[in-house]
Amino acid sequence: MILVESDTSEEWDSSTGWAALADQAVRSAIAASRHELLLRSPVSFEISVKFTDDEEVRALNAAYRDKDKPTNVLSFPMVEPALITAFDAVGEGEALLGDIVLAHGVCAAESRERGISMEDHAIHLVVHGALHLLGYDHEIGEEAAVAMEKLEREALASMGITDPYPAEARP
């Protein structure tokens, strides 16, 4: 079972159902991943998604990544990817998979620059963050990056969202 908790700061448009979008994005990412069985697991896996401002993300980025600037999304895994399957094998209990944090100003600027809705861009970033929590990492090499982007495309397509990666940028 997947439990998605979310927290939304006032910068994010209150007329948008960010919690429901986060839940859908996390579930789609899991469904596209090698951990798809988690969706039907008796173990309760929790993911926290926080929609906040650039300053909070800048502070987190500085504290945990030594990068004193805001970024669009940060992921903080709480479980080693190899242990995710072990939790599921136990058949009961609960585990916090981790936290995903999005910066409003960065997300808004990127969505304007790309000519896409803020909602679609935020969903993409939550999918991206959820895949990081599941052990995927685009920064370890080209093959891993291509594999992660493929999963992102699959998850987004399942929600009717257009491929965020331009064809000309693909290897």
10-residue block means of pLDDT along the chain (171 residues)? 87 92 96 90 90 97 96 94 74 85 97 94 96 84 81 94 69 47
The answer to whether position 53 is within a domain reads yes
Q: Which domain holds residue 88?
A: 2-163
Q: For the chain, how many structural domains are there in total?
A: 1
In a domain, 14, yes or no: yes
CATH at residue 59: 3.40.390.30
Please give the Cα distance from 91 to 38 (Å, whole number).
11
Contact 128, 78 (CB under 8 A): no
Residue 96 lies in a domain: yes
Q: Is residue 111 part of a domain?
A: yes
Token pair 């919690």 in the structure block, residue: 19
What is the pLDDT, as a whole number, of residue 171? 47
The pLDDT value recorded for residue 19 is: 95
Binding site listing = 128, 132, 138
The answer to whether residue 38 is domain-embedded is yes
Q: How many C-beta neighbours within 10 Å does residue 10 have?
A: 9
Q: Enumerate the known binding-site residues for Zn(2+).
A: 128, 132, 138
Report pLDDT for 167.
60
